[in-house]
Amino acid sequence: MSRIGKKPVTLVKGVSASISGQTIEVKGPKGTRSFTAGDDVTLTIEGETVKVTPRGLSKRARQQWGMSRSMIQNLVDGVTGGFKKEMEIQGVGYRAAMAGNVLKLSLGYSHEVNFEVPAGVTVATPKQTEITVEGIDQQLVGQVAANIREWKRPEPYKGKGIRYKGEFVFRKEGKKK
């Protein structure tokens, strides 16, 4: 039995949901998102809640049960509050700046890195050494943040690079004489 799947998803004030077949569409103050569930689960709306139930006792049905409920909860969270990833840049001369829809990164390379921000995500630079990625799609926000981080991952000797806010980077000792 799925502990997560048993819990119904409550629709907060200002959020509406509609089901057509296996697709649920959630509308809220920040936008509209939809999710298509597999054939192993049944979606129902009961008042102000959305319930997910498995269509059998197979292993796949039980897997889809909890996952579908989590995806629907993420839709509701996204259209009400959105998702946010905060990143920080450490290193001498490393900085970031927004120019229209392009994030310009100076990361110690001989050239400036231009990162095109995809639709559905907003990227802001409150300081030269901070980057904020926001949007209503949790997967897209996380993927954009990971793509930005890939340009210069934090290295273990000096700690230079792009890291998530609050991330611990294990530091190594340098070579000795």
pLDDT in tens, 75-89: 999 999 999 999 999
Segment 15-64, tens digit of pLDDT: 999 999 999 999 999 999 999 999 999 999 998 999 999 999 899 999 99
Burial of 36 (0-12, 13-18, 19+ CB in 10 A): exposed
Contacts of 141 (CB under 8 A, 6+ apart): 83, 84, 85, 121, 133, 134, 135
SS (H, E, C) 77-91: HHHHCCEEEEEEEEC
Taking a C-beta distance cutoff of 8 angstroms, is the pair 18, 24 a contact? yes
User: Among 73, 62, 60, which Cα is nearest to 3's?
Assistant: 62
Structure-model confidence comparison of residues 3 and 125, the more confident one? 125
| Pairing relationship of beta strands 95-99 and 161-164 according to DSSP bridges | unpaired
177: DSSP letter: -
How does pLDDT run across 111-133, given as a tens digit for each residue? 999 999 999 999 999 999 999 99
pLDDT band at 1 (very low <50, low <70, confident <90, very high): low
| pLDDT at residue 5 tops 90 | no
**All domains of the chain, ordered by start, with CATH?**
3-80 (3.90.930.12), 83-164 (3.90.930.12)
pLDDT, averaged across the chain: 93
